[in-house]
Chains A and B, each alone.
Chain A
Amino acid sequence: MVRSHVLVCGGTGCTSSNSLKIIEALEKEINKQGLTDEVKVVQTGCFGLCALGPVMIVYPEGCFYSMVKVEDIPEIVSEHLLKGRIVTRLLYDETVGKDEIKSLNETDFYKKQVRVALRNCGVIDPESIEEYIAYDGYMALAKCLTEYTPEQVIKIVSDSGLRGRGGGGFPTGRKWALTAPNKAPQKYVVCNADEGDPGAFMDRSVLEGDPHAIIEAMAIAGYAIGATKGFVYVRAEYPIAVKRLQIAIDKAREYGLLGKNILGSGFDFDMEIRLGAGAFVCGEETALMTSIEGNRGEPRPRPPYPAVKGLFGMPTVENNVETLANIPQIILRGPEWFSSMGTEKSKGTKVFALGGKIKHTGLVEIPMGTTLREVVEEIGGGIPGGKKFKAAQTGGPSGGCIPAELFDTKIDYDNLTEIGCMMGSGGLIVMDEDTCMVDIAKFFLEFTVDESCGKCTPCRVGTKRLLEKLEKITSGNGTMQDIDELEELCNFIKENSLCGLGQTAPNPVLSTLRFFRDEYISHVKDKKCPAGVCKSLMSYVIIADKCKGCTACVRVCPVGAISGSVKQPHVIDDSKCIKCGACMEKCKFGAIVKQ
């Protein structure tokens, strides 16, 4: 008789910190202690607290163990699973109260989160269709097929106020309504799981942790618009997601939840996975469809829109993974429930991948309208090392930054757009005082220059010119005229590029220019990088008063740029120095500083 479940995270984060080995060790030890019939080990998707991985949760107590090592397993099994004595040293410290163990939901990380798209991630075994069904999985599809007409389904989705989570924020109900009436021999539903933003892993986590939700949502979309065929376009770099999704599709077919005459309703729907090679531009909807058709993934002009002429020239609905993950819940709990969360024009929740200078890097889902401050300071646990918050970047290479003075901005589509930022797909990178904003703009431009497909000139050539100007500025050769020209060129690229990649590529530059223009000016006029990041604009120097002449720096410098005799102050030859910082790290007396 099973009396305990051990849920071990099998998300990509924890897998890379060895959670599969932990599962193996657990099973072995449980077997050794004769507990095989009493304890069940379940591999789940991401819990969200990836920074603390590998993580596991033990039921019925609900104990959350973090940073578990293979060596800890015998103790967990013999103490906790056999004798019921919780291994306190492995508990996540925020769950340890005075006299009791708090549930994970009471910790700062989870307290303000509302999990809709992520509701099953870290909760069920994504490879088990029964566990999905246990929590009302496929009930939304059944409800649509037995109780609602396609028009009613579209109305529910429209009334919920759900907008696309892939970046554009287009109302999902309206997209479906535009596609449904178009007559054609075949229509399609396409799920966009390309997720190209550097640092983003929201969609991957949903596919890894709850793949059936996407299958169910695509079938619902198919019913609503009259499509019988679906494709999920996912990048080949997501092997765990691809594997679990394939298992889920096979299981759904076996159960008759995909295929002909689903639940005796007469509705047919089936789907397949298409692997992408990981080009950023293939996430753009028209390029994605071109790629599924077997051609080079280049965007095509719109109109015609996919609703009229999409995949293989047929009417197509294309939605993002997270958008779809909301659909079954909206059907089951009603549009009013969904629209009760969020702000006036942005309903529901949004998943963010927290990264950069923040304590709890990981995955969070918050109601729209939560402030950036709440996300960074409360949920994210603040910035490590007592550093100051400088800005947050959202929307990846298409987005912009939110500076410290706008820390209390309520996160929703319109507020972010208003400050020249964008929601994007959910990457949220936190930057502290040691970050150079010109350098950040350069980082994203390097990315877009690499990823531009080259089809149109403003993007192909324009982004390259932008990058050259940024390099000129960060190397200390920029002029004030360069700053003005930078702005002009940005606006030109925005207006004249063919697809969203080019149209949004200048955003990181425009946004940093808007909020951190003085930093650009310092680079140009004072030839200084205020954050001390741009190597050409800073030097390492030894403060003679503090130097004891211990020679530790001389030995550590890889290029022999430091000279001086023992017990005498040393000096660094700036023309030889490669700005690696090794000497500063080594100096015990704090005698070496960046200038």
Chain B
Amino acid sequence: MKTLAELEAIRDKAREKMNIRNNNSEAIRVVVGMATCGIAAGARPVLNAFAEEVAKRRLENVVVNQTGCIGMCQFEPIVEVLVPGHEKVTYAKVTPDKVARIVVDHIVNGNPVMEYTIGHIMK
């Protein structure tokens, strides 16, 4: 390494990998139900798809978490998106191919994907 610019490039790249450790309460949280029911319904690939999508788009302010059983097993995989200052949005029967749209429309642009929400699916 011979320049400051190179050092900065290494820093920015390394920092992305450390994002997971920013334990801030202001962050947008994506919570995937990962109890036995959720895992059986395919929650793991969904969790991973979220983690990947968030990293790919370098969304520093988003934390992807799992949680236990949310209590509506027939709608698993269930994903909750919590944007500070907004109502919680719950998505049901999420599959990996739905993830990109949730991230772009909801998390980046602030428009929940109504047709994936549990309210819409239960109707």
Contacts and interface: CB of A to CB of B under 8 A. Distances in A.
Interface of A: 1-5, 7, 38, 59-62, 82-85, 103, 123, 130-131, 133-139, 142, 146, 255-257, 261, 263-264
B11 A83 contact: no
B123 interface: no
Contact of B63 (A60, A255, A263): A60
Contacts of A82: 34, 39, 66
Interface residues of B, number: 33
Nearest to B55: A1
Nearest to B35: A83
Nearest to B25: A103
Contacts, number: 90
Q: Chain B at the A interface: mostly helix, strand, loop or mixed?
A: helix
Nearest to A254: B1
Nearest to A7: B21
A263 B2 contact: yes
B51 A130 contact: no
B86 interface: no
Interface string B67-110: 11000000000000000000000000000000000000000000
15 contacts: A2-B17, A3-B47, A3-B48, A4-B20, A60-B63, A83-B35, A83-B39, A130-B14, A130-B17, A133-B14, A134-B17, A136-B11, A139-B7, A146-B4, A264-B2
B1 A263 contact: yes
Contacts of A85: 35, 67-68
B122 interface: no
B12 to A, nearest CB: 9
Contacts of B35: 83, 85
A138 B13 CA distance: 15
Nearest to B52: A1
A370 to B, nearest CB: 25
Contact of A264 (B3, B13, B32, B52): B3
Nearest to B18: A134
Contacts of B39: 82-83
Q: Is the interface of A mostly helix, strand, loop or mixed?
A: loop
B10 interface: yes
Nearest to A146: B4
A60 B18 contact: no
A591 to B, nearest CB: 55
Contact of B68 (A84, A139, A146, A261): A84
B20 A3 contact: yes
Nearest to A85: B68
Nearest to A80: B66
Contacts of A123: 21
Nearest to A104: B23
A263 B47 contact: no
B65 interface: yes
Interface in B33-75: 34-36, 38-39, 47-48, 51-52, 55, 63-68
